[in-house]
Amino acid sequence: MAHDVLLIEDSPTQAAQIKATLESVGLQVRVAYDGPDGLRMVLEQKPALIVLDVKLPTMDGFQVCRRLKRAPETASIPVIMLTEKDGAQATMSGLQAGADDYIPKDIFATEHLMNTLQELGLMS
């Protein structure tokens, strides 16, 4: 059975691209376009992985990640932050919020995402 991934990304274009990438390795992807919607969808059906953008309306990715990692029912779900904020400070903020990985959206993003999926045992 395919692993279920929840992608939280407000840009429909980027969401479609990331969704296609994840589906290309056999993952089943649901998409939420903001933080509150994402948190609701996590509770509806616990995903095997959450891919989270930082820049989101209403509640940013750091806040969403902190909420997920503080709640006992969602704390163990791996979170990969995929983001345009790539400075040392942003990286540290993401990891301190509890993210399992922090990947800048650059030309190597897909390669790193695949590598991390493999390390998390979500693709063969």
Partner 1 sequence: MAHRPRSPYAMQPPVMSVVIEKQMDIMIARNTARRTASLLGFSPAAQAQLAGAAATLAELTLKTGDRHELHLNGIRDGFKDGIQLSVATPWLSGAPEGNIMLALRQKVGDLVDEILIETDPSPVIMLMMWQRKDDPHKTS
Indicate the residue among 36 and 104 with the shorter CB distance to partner 1.
104
* 113-117, Cβ contacts within 8 angstroms, sequence gap of 24 or more: 113/21, 113/51, 113/80, 113/82, 114/25, 116/80, 117/22, 117/25, 117/27, 117/49
Closest CA to 77 of 36, 47, 32, 114: 47
- x/- track of binding to partner 1 for residues 49-78 (CB under 8 A): ------------------------------
43 sits near partner 1 (criterion: CB under 8 A): no
Using CB under 8 A, which of 48, 95, 114, 123 touches partner 1? 95
- In the chain, the N- to C-terminal Cα span, in Å, equals 13
Q: Cβ of residue 62: shortest distance to partner 1, in angstroms? A: 14
Interface residues toward partner 1, by CB under 8 A: 80, 86-88, 91-92, 94-95, 99-104, 106-108, 111-112, 115-116, 119-120
